[in-house]
Amino acid sequence: MKIAFLSMSGVRVRTEELAELGVSMPGFVERGKVIASMPSLAGATLAAVTPADVQFDYFDVPDAENHVVMTDYDLVAFSTFTAMAYECYALADRYRAAGIPVVLGGLHATLVPEDAKPHFDAVCVGEGEDLWPRIIHDAKQGRLQPFYRQLPGEVYDIKRAPIPKFDLFDVGNYNRLTVQTSRGCPLDCEFCAASKIFGKYRIKPVEQVMAEIDEILTIWPDPFIEFADDNTFVHKKWSKEFLRELRTRNVRWFTETDVSAADDPELVDLMAESGCQQVLVGFESPSKNSLDGIDRGNWKSKRRDSYERFIDEMQNRSVTVNGCFILGLDSDTPDVFEEVAEFVKRTGLLESQVTVLTPFPGTRLYDRLKEEGRLLKEKYWDRCTLFDVNFVPKNMTVDELEGGMRWLFGELYSEKEQRRRRRHFIELEKSRLAAVG
Amino acid sequence: MSTDSDIIEQLRQEIAARARVDAGEIDPDAHFLFDLGMSSLDLLAMLAFAERSFATRFPDECLSELTTLNKMGNAIHGYKQNQERGDQ
């Protein structure tokens, strides 16, 4: 049996003016390029649980429209983001027309399996490690079931997760490889799908993560690793143990964290010493008022006062911070754009990412906005790019939100502003060099 | 005061450490990011190292252009020449 795994990722803005503007905006384009140039961890993970007698080939699909259907496969598995769902559906339709069974898994499939089903012979709902061997078994028999689901409430024990088959990838084609240390996030923000998809927050044992990293080191001696976590340093004891091990390896890395990572200077020291290049953190808003209520425990609002300290603690140790802001939160007024610009400039954030509040299907946010009649369209997956507006904001118009976002892009990503941020970081680095002699 | 060859040698050693390559194998025209695999953070750190080590300050509008050993060495050389002219 021969299986093709097709990974469809990348970001494509739909709003024409923003797309045109985005072409020259590094804050958006570069992050988009990074995402698009990472191989799918799902592909490598499924390859690791594929029976030895099955051939498993991996393909990135950067351009679905011009993808030539490969008729020599017995099964084609797709993984995609919601923003690419329609392109994925169309490509799956072409494979089915050629008589090849198709299956979809991943985030979008898990969030809205019924929506995807008409285009696929089978949809894999939830974590794939245990479901994938069943799918292969049934495909071999020609008896694919419409849905493969984890049992209600079932959570995969990630201590059993196999080491992904990283050697599936030609590392020369990518600028990063991904490793997952945890699944889910305990914060449960209204807009985030992670808590919904992954359920309980789980961490891999340190030795398991290190085994994966050591596997990468066999194919890439000085890798750049992106930890594909939603929030890496939730458990501080585990984090320190992990980073002490990591600093003995030759890696550079990037991850996502919340601001509590900077509460413990020893942890930040370990991050810097183990090769951390940048952390991405969801500040969401500089306004305490706008943060109010976005997560169940109101944690982000309570931690607003530590944002500036977080940036200083990280950047003073050469760990750059990519601060993320969401525009269009319910308490946001048209003043929010200037507030974000002021915060970014004042704090010396080396990088920032501004996105629009996005009601991904399956999230609490989607359900609430739908109930309040504020979705522009109920099924508008190709606008789930994080940059296209698909809801009516509470305290401004859609035009104000789109216009404000364009203005903010111009403010934050102009050449002048980028120079200013680079200079700020160079001066910080010089001070650090002077301090260490 | 550092000679031009001292400057190039010190830059070469720092690049080798950051790019994790053998100093002797660095092509002076190799691009830090695209040829040597350095990160954008490495590039900023290199600029900070060069400015501090050679008492230089690159013009902000040139920062993104100093992406090879030769370009950085030439920029430091030019800065020092301008300084000397200013001193005379």
Residue A10's pLDDT is 65
Q: Does A320 touch chain B (CB under 8 A)?
A: yes
Residue B33's pLDDT is 86
AA letter at A263: D
Residue A285's pLDDT is 97
Is the C-alpha dihedral spanning A406, A407, A408, A412 positive or negative? positive
Residue B52 has pLDDT above 70, yes or no: yes
Chain A closest-CA separation from residue B86 CA (Å): 24
Tell me if A426 and B51 make a contact (CB, 8 A cut-off).
yes
Percent of the residues in chain A that have a pLDDT greater than 70, as a whole number? 94
> For B64, which residue in chain A has the nearest alpha carbon?
A419
Residues A142-166 have pLDDT tens digits of: 999 999 998 877 889 999 999 999 9
Q: Does B39 touch chain A (CB under 8 A)?
A: yes
Residue A386 has pLDDT above 60, yes or no: yes
Residue A214 has pLDDT above 90, yes or no: yes
Chain A closest-CA separation from residue B49 CA (Å): 7
Q: Does B74 touch chain A (CB under 8 A)?
A: no
Rounded-to-integer distance, Cα B86 and Cα B80, Å: 10
Q: Does B52 touch chain A (CB under 8 A)?
A: yes
Residue A381 has pLDDT above 60, yes or no: yes
Tell me if A252 and B39 make a contact (CB, 8 A cut-off).
yes
Percent of the residues in chain A that have a pLDDT greater than 90, as a whole number? 73
Residues A344-357 have pLDDT tens digits of: 999 999 889 999 99
Residues A30-77 have pLDDT tens digits of: 545 555 568 899 999 999 999 999 999 999 998 899 999 999 999 999
Q: Which residues of A touch B61 (CB under 8 A)?
A: 419
Residue A19's pLDDT is 61
Q: Does A420 touch chain B (CB under 8 A)?
A: yes
Residue B4's pLDDT is 81
Across the A:B interface, residue pairs with CB atoms under 8 Å apart total 44
Residue A22 has pLDDT above 60, yes or no: no
Q: Does B81 touch chain A (CB under 8 A)?
A: no
- Beta strands A182-183 and A122-125 are unpaired
Q: Does A24 touch chain B (CB under 8 A)?
A: no
Tell me if A426 and B39 make a contact (CB, 8 A cut-off).
no
Confidence of residue A235 (pLDDT cuts 50, 70, 90): very high
Topology of domain B4-87, per CATH?
1.10.1200
Stretch A161-187: mean pLDDT, rounded? 91
> For B56, which residue in chain A has the nearest alpha carbon?
A430
Confidence of residue B88 (pLDDT cuts 50, 70, 90): low
Residue A28 has pLDDT above 50, yes or no: no
Rounded-to-integer distance, Cα A432 and Cα A313, Å: 12
Q: What is the DSSP letter of A58?
A: E
Q: Which residues of A touch B47 (CB under 8 A)?
A: 422, 426
Residue A21 has pLDDT above 80, yes or no: no
Q: Does A224 touch chain B (CB under 8 A)?
A: yes
Stretch A297-321: mean pLDDT, rounded? 94
User: Which pTM does this prediction carry?
Assistant: 0.89
Confidence of residue A103 (pLDDT cuts 50, 70, 90): very high
Q: Which residues of B touch A252 (CB under 8 A)?
A: 39
- Beta strands A2-8 and A102-105 are unpaired
Tell me if A434 and B51 make a contact (CB, 8 A cut-off).
no
Burial of A363 (0-12, 13-18, 19+ CB in 10 A): buried
Rounded (10°) angle between helices B40-53 and B4-19: 150
Residue B38's pLDDT is 86
DSSP for A280-298 reads EEEEE-S-HHHHTTSBTT-
Residue A23's pLDDT is 40
- Cβ within 8 Å of residue A331, ≥6 positions away: A287, A289, A290, A292, A394, A395
* Upper half-sphere CA count for residue A377 (Cβ side, 13 Å): 8
Mean pLDDT score of chain A = 91
Mutate to test the interface with B, among A33, A34, A319, A430 (most CBs of B within 10 A): A430
How many angstroms separate the Cα of A415 from the Cα of each of A126, A175, A371, B33?
43, 24, 42, 19
- Return the higher-pLDDT residue of A200 and A252: A252
Instruction: Quote the tokens at residue A333.
Output: 């007024």
Residue B5's pLDDT is 86
Tell me if B63 and A224 make a contact (CB, 8 A cut-off).
no
Residue A387 has pLDDT above 50, yes or no: yes
Under 8 Å between Cβ of A92 and A73: no
Mutate to test the interface with A, among B14, B21, B38, B39 (most CBs of A within 10 A): B39
Residue A114 has pLDDT above 90, yes or no: yes
- Return the higher-pLDDT residue of B81 and A85: A85
> For B44, which residue in chain A has the nearest alpha carbon?
A426
Residue A194 has pLDDT above 90, yes or no: no
Tell me if A426 and B41 make a contact (CB, 8 A cut-off).
no
